[in-house]
Amino acid sequence: MTMLPGVTKSNSGIDDISWNILGQIYVPKQHSEASMAWHATLPKGTFVPPHIHPTQDEFIYVLEGRFDLLLNGVETYAEPSDLIRLPKGIPHGIFNKSDQAIKCLFWVAPSRRLFDLFWALHNLGPDANPADVVAVSAEHEVDFLPPPEEG
């Protein structure tokens, strides 16, 4: 798939797609073999647990709200106009611990199987079994880390 020139308008995505990924709304803005970009809205209290993209670099540009992050075992945060850089192979988790929604632009390079993963997760529904999410993600080159041991 080749990227076509043009403008993806602010209120729409590619082919009017909007995925509900476990309560977060992802709207794809661009998709080619080289990269994929999507607008995301993460309601308060939602998160993506620590995971690794072994084949992709990932970026998040924060538009609204505050992310709390776990990057390679280190806690940090990002606010509007900050760019979060997530090199392939580095474990990371993103969390909305605030009282407002986070809006941001994600992108990955290369796309690999992420577009297909979002369709698969969208189809699991809002009450998906975490084990199913982990298994489907692993099939699409996203590896979730086991929860930390309680001490």
d(CA 111, CA 68): 25
Query: What domains sit in the chain, N to C, each tagged with a CATH number?
Result: 18-143 (2.60.120.10)
pLDDT band per the 50, 70, 90 thresholds, residue 4: confident
Q: Please determine, for residue 9, whether its predicted confidence score (pLDDT) is greater than 70.
A: yes
Report residue 1's pLDDT band, with 50, 70 and 90 as the boundaries: confident
Query: What percent of the chain is predicted at pLDDT more than 70?
Result: 97
Distance (Å, rounded) from C-alpha 77 to C-alpha 12?
28
Q: What's the rounded Cα separation, in Å, for the pair 113 and 137?
A: 10
pLDDT tens-digit profile of 94-123? 999 999 999 999 999 999 999 999 999 998
In the chain, alpha helices (H): 114-124, 130-139
What type of residue sits at position 49?
P
Distance CA 142, CA 92 (A): 11
* Other C-beta atoms lying within 10 Å of the C-beta of residue 13: 19
